[in-house]
Amino acid sequence: MVNSRVEDKQFPRIKRLKLGDKILDLSIPRVMGILNVTPDSFYDQSRVQSESQALKLAEKMISEGADILDLGAYSSRPGSLNVEEKEEIARITPIVRALKKEFPSVPISVDTFRSEVAKSVLNEGIEIINDIGGGLLDPEMFSVISSSKAAYILMHMRGNPQTMQKQANYSSIFSEVASEISDQLSKAKTSGIHDIILDPGFGFSKNVEQNFELMKYLPELGVLGRPVLVGISRKSMIYKTLDITTEESLNGTTVLNTISLLKGADLLRVHDVREARQIITLLDNFS
C-alpha cells in the first residue's frame, strides 16, 4: 500500500535526496523524530535540557526506527516568546556535536529560520536545515544553504511565530498555500538549492478548520515535484477537535499520519517514532 500511495504520474516526485554525503531514499516513507532544546515547546516529552537527555531520547528514537533526528532550539508554537540568536546557537551547538559524535550515521536536521544559526550548525556537519519561514524570515537563508551540501525543508507560514495566527485569512486555503510555497520553491531553486522538501505547515498561520481542508488537498502538492513532509504530531487540530490534551493526542496523531501517508506524504515529523514506524509497516503489508 505504501508504494501505491497517491502519486501524480504527470509530475513525478523526486524520490532520492542528497543529505550532505548521505543519500535519503524516499521510495518508502521516512520518519523524523523531534528533539527540542527548549523549555517551552508545546509537548514537554520532546524537550531536552542537556547533552545526556538529548542522547538518551535520540537513542530511543533511533531504536524505534527514526530515519532522521530533527533538533530545534526555538519554540515555534503560536505566541511563543522570541529567543535571541546567540541563545539559540548556544542551546543547539553542544547538542548537535554530541549527537554527531554518538550517532554519525544518522542524518540530523536543525529547525531554524535564521541563517546565522544555520551557518553555525552546518559547520558542525548537520545534513538538513528545516526552515519554518521558508526563506521569508531571513533573506540570507537561501545563500547559506546553497553554499552547503545540506538539504532544505521549505515550510509554508505567514508572519512569524508571534504573529502567524493573526494571518490565517485565506479565500482558498490550498490554492494560496500552494501558490506561496511554489514562489519560494522557485526562488530557492534559482539560488542554487537542489535537494528540497516541502512542508505545507500544518498549524502555522492556519486554524483548525483550515488544517483539515489543507490535508484534503495534500496529493495536489505532488505537482511541484518535491518530497512532502507532514508535521501534525499532537497538534491543536487534533486535541482541539477531540477536546483532549496534548498528552492524550497520540491516537489522533496516528489516524492523521495514516491519512497523510495515504495521501502521498513522504516524511512524517513526529514525537512518537515507534507508532509512526508501525503505520508504515502495516500499510506496506497491503502492497
- Average pLDDT, integer, range 67-78: 85
pLDDT one-digit tens code per residue, 76-133: 766 667 788 999 999 999 999 999 999 999 999 999 999 999 999 999 999 999 999 9
Query: Is the residue at 8 inside a domain?
Result: no
Q: Which three cell numbers stand for residue 147?
A: 553554499
Question: Quick one: pLDDT at residue 4?
Answer: 44
Higher pLDDT, 165 or 221: 221
* Secondary structure (3-state) at 132: coil
Contact assessment for residue 197 and residue 229, using Cβ atoms and an 8 Å cutoff: yes
pLDDT digit string, tens, across residues 182-218: 999 999 999 999 999 999 999 999 999 999 999 999 9
**Is 7 a member of any domain?**
no
Give the CA distances from residue 133 to residues 10, 70, 136, 154, 253, in Å, rounded to whole numbers and listed in that order: 29, 16, 5, 7, 24
CATH number of residue 74's parent domain? 3.20.20.20
Other C-beta atoms within 10 Å of 236: how many?
19
Q: How far apart are CA 162 and CA 139, in angstroms?
A: 19
Q: What is the pLDDT of residues 170-179, one digit of tens each?
A: 999 999 999 9
Which residue do the cell numbers 515529523 mark?
Answer: 269
Q: Is residue 213 part of a domain?
A: yes
Number of domains in the chain: 1
Instruction: Give the structural domain span for 136.
Output: 14-284
Q: Which residues are known to be catalytic?
A: 235, 269
**pTM (two decimals):** 0.92
